[in-house]
């Protein structure tokens, strides 16, 4: 690690002015779980690190019946998992946050830091896309709000401009929506998912509508499986429908190939994940229903 200046602003305006002052020579630090690894390996060597650690206002988690959930960007994964507000209004989000990575990362890493780093081998983005999340970004000129879909640009790339800070994540009120989330590790010894999947749908007397089926970790940015979503609209899930949807999902996903798994393997896991999450949503047992 190279020497660097460590700044700890005590307010958001102060943080923004520090970013403006130091420009591209500085890095923002939230939980630091990814940043410090990169700095230790000298993959990143910022002259200045601006820590957001003292901006307690960015840790709040709140719910409003009209606006939905608002999660401060600096809420740690363990905070999200343990929040009674999240558990009451979006239990699947609490489950996702409580199961990602490992306890060390959950107790240190933040949901905002996670989204800004945009590492595909992680969980929150996939879930939040299915939930229809939006993000608030603060800059010197004020705030802007955009859909998470627009925020996630590519592999390790977001729409965050230099000098901006992600401040909050918003989830619309769930209404009658059912949400499910599953993650798949290549082996039980891994802590990062090789595939994850989120399903969000309205179940009206068994038939699905307004289906969102998002696959992540397998792709550079989480991918909405549009054809599979269309196929599922209006259908009641049974073993045959789940199998057909799984085949569609496997065909339309555009998986990564890297050192952790090749595309063919990821495609197979996407098929499996699709089948299982649909059967789980329908209350059917996937263990008896091999494709």
Partner 1 sequence: MASTVIGQPVPQVSALEKVQGRAVYAGDLAFPGMLHARVLRSPYAHARIRSVDVSAARALPGVKAVVTGADVPERRWGVAHKQQHVLAKGVVRFIGEEVAAVVATSESVANDAIDLINVDYEPLDALLNAGSAFDDDAPQVHAEGNLAHEIRIARGDVDAGFASADLIHEDVYSTQSQYPGYMEPMATVATVDGTGKLTVWTATQSVFLARQRLAEALDRPVSTIRVHQPAVGGGFGGKIVEERSSVIAAFLATVVDRPVRLGLSRLEDFQSGCFSVPTRIRLKMGMQNDGRIVAKEVDILAECGAYAGLAPEVMLVTAMRSDNMQRIENVRSRARLVYTHTMPRGAFRGFGGTQMLFALNSHLATMADKLGIDPVDLHRRNAIRTGDTSVHGWSIGSCGLPECLDQVTGAIGWSAKRERPETGGVLRRGIGMAAAMHVSGNRTMGNWDGSTVTLKVNEDGRAVILTAESDMGQGANTMLSQICAEELGIPLSHVTVLAPDTDTAPYALGSIASRVTVNAGHAMLKAAKQARDQILDAAAAKLGCDAADLSIVEGVVQSTVNDNLFAPLPEICRYHIFRHGGEGILVTATHDPRTVMMDKDHYGNIAPAYSFAAQAVEVEVDTETGQVQVVETWLSDDCGRAINPLAVHGQSNGAAVQAIGWALHEHLQFEDGRLMNGNLADYTMPTADALPRVNSSIVESNDPNGPLGAKGASETAILPGAPAIANAVYDAIGVRITDLPITPEKILAGLAALGEKNHASV
DSSP characters over 166-202:
EEEEEE---TTEEEEEEEE-SSTT-SS-SEEEEEEEE
Q: Which stretch binds partner 1 (CB under 8 A): 36-44, 130-138, 173-181, 215-223?
A: 36-44
User: CB-wise, 4 or 63, nearer to partner 1?
Assistant: 4
Shortest spacing between CB 150 and partner 1, in angstroms: 30
Under rule CB under 8 A, residue 184 binds partner 1: yes
Length of the chain: 291
Residues ≥6 apart with Cβ < 8 Å to 83 = 61, 75, 94
Encoded one letter per residue, x for contact with partner 1 by CB under 8 A and - for no contact, window 93-132 reads ---------x------------------------------
Under rule CB under 8 A, residue 240 binds partner 1: no
User: CB-wise, 212 or 276, nearer to partner 1?
Assistant: 276
Under rule CB under 8 A, residue 188 binds partner 1: yes
CB 150 within 8 A of CB 125: no
User: CB-wise, 160 or 199, nearer to partner 1?
Assistant: 199
List 87, 268, 280, 284, residue binding partner 1 (CB under 8 A): 268
Q: What are the tokens at 164?
A: 């901006």
Shortest spacing between CB 205 and partner 1, in angstroms: 29
List 140, 144, 145, 191, residue binding partner 1 (CB under 8 A): 191
d(CA 100, CA 144): 28
Under rule CB under 8 A, residue 3 binds partner 1: yes
Judged by CB under 8 A, the chain residues 41 through 100 that form the site for partner 1 are 41-42
Q: What are the tokens at 223?
A: 């991918």
Q: What's the 3-state SS for 60-120? A: CEEEECCCEEEEECCCEHHHHHHCHHHHHHCHHHHHHHHHCCCHHHHCCCEHHHHHHHCCC
Which residues contact partner 1 by CB under 8 A? 1-3, 40-42, 102, 184-192, 259-262, 265, 268-269, 271-272, 275, 286-291
């Amino acid at each position: 690690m190279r020497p660097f200046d460590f700044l700890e602003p005590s307010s958001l305006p102060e943080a923004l002015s520090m970013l403006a002052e130091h420009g591209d020579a500085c890095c923002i630090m939230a939980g630091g779980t990814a940043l410090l690894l990169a700095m230790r390996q000298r993959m990143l060597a910022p002259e200045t690190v601006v820590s957001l650690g003292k901006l307690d206002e960015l840790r709040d988690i709140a719910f409003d019946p009209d606006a939905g959930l608002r999660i401060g960007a600096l809420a740690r994964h363990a905070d999200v998992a343990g929040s009674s507000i999240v558990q009451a209004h979006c239990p699947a989000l609490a489950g996702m946050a409580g199961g990602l990575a490992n306890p060390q990362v959950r107790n240190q890493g933040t949901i905002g830091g996670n989204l800004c780093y945009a590492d595909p081998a992680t969980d929150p983005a996939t879930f939040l896309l299915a939930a229809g999340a939006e993000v608030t970004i603060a800059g010197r000129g004020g705030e802007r709000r955009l859909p998470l879909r627009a925020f996630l640009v590519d592999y390790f790339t977001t729409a965050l401009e230099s000098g901006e800070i992600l401040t909050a994540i918003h989830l619309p009120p769930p209404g009658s929506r059912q949400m499910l989330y599953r993650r798949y590790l290549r082996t039980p010894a891994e802590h990062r998912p090789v595939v994850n999947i989120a399903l969000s749908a309205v179940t009206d007397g068994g038939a699905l509508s307004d289906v969102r089926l998002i696959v992540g970790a397998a792709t550079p940015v989480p991918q909405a499986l549009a054809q599979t979503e269309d196929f599922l609209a209006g259908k009641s899930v049974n073993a045959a429908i789940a199998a057909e949807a799984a085949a569609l999902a496997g065909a339309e996903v555009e998986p990564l190939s890297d050192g952790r798994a090749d595309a063919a393997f990821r495609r197979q896991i996407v098929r499996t994940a699709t089948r299982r999450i649909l059967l789980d949503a329908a209350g059917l047992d996937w263990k008896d229903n091999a494709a």
